[in-house]
Amino acid sequence: MRIAKGGWLRAGIALASGIVVLVISRLTGGALSVILSVFAGFFMLIAGFFIYFFRDPDREYPEGEGIVLSPADGRIMDIVQNRENTTIKIFMSPLDVHIQRAPVSGMIESVEYMPGKFLRAYEPAASLENEKNTIKMRDDKLEQFEVVQIAGIMARRIVCWVKENSRVSRGERIGMIKLGSQVNLKMPSRVRVQVKPGERVVAGVTVVGRE
């Protein structure tokens, strides 16, 4: 299992702390030894959590012309359509893989970070008021797509791995949001939506639209 950048460091620190505390507990006695053993176990659990949270599994994305892949793991919260575009809103729980992937192949037009609040990711106002990072790109047909990384009440850091004028391939890793959050995908209205609210999707695997 691949682990995202920063995961092994955090897990290693927690694991090393647990080992040190465990050794100290063995050198002491009585109630103090028991208390230290509990703390050691706590550090071990933290290490396991970091490995689980930063997991970054390799995936084989579907082949085919004109398909649009989900940019995130999670559950479809809502689908908003108008004459110009369609927005698919995806809620990511703390248990989901938190890596975002490119929905289509193309060029990154811009990356725009905007500070904001940390409302619960499933609240309607979250997509408007929360801290966010908007990745705008055009596919090979020059159609514009947007992936919006939105922080939640627990998510306090958004990471973006792509830059303006760089090229990405469909299914390529483009960023990560740490802890539960929301990811929105905006695509042209002519793209036919292939999912519905309440459905679970997998980044780089689930086909959410067809051009």
- The verdict on whether 181 is a catalytic residue reads yes
Q: Which of 156, 105, 96, 108 is nearest to 134 (CA)?
A: 108
Write out the chain's pLDDT in tens, 211 residues: 688 777 788 888 989 999 999 999 888 878 888 899 998 999 999 988 888 878 888 888 888 889 999 999 999 999 999 999 999 999 988 889 989 999 999 999 999 998 877 666 666 666 676 788 999 999 988 889 999 998 866 656 788 999 999 999 999 999 998 776 899 999 999 999 999 999 999 999 999 999 8
Rounded Cα distance, 98 and 122, in Å: 16
Tell me which of 37, 105, 181, 189 is the catalytic residue: 181
Rounded Cα distance, 150 and 145, in Å: 16
Q: What pLDDT was estimated at residue 178?
A: 78
Whole-number Cα distances in Å, 202 to 40, 42, 72, 101, 138: 35, 31, 6, 10, 22
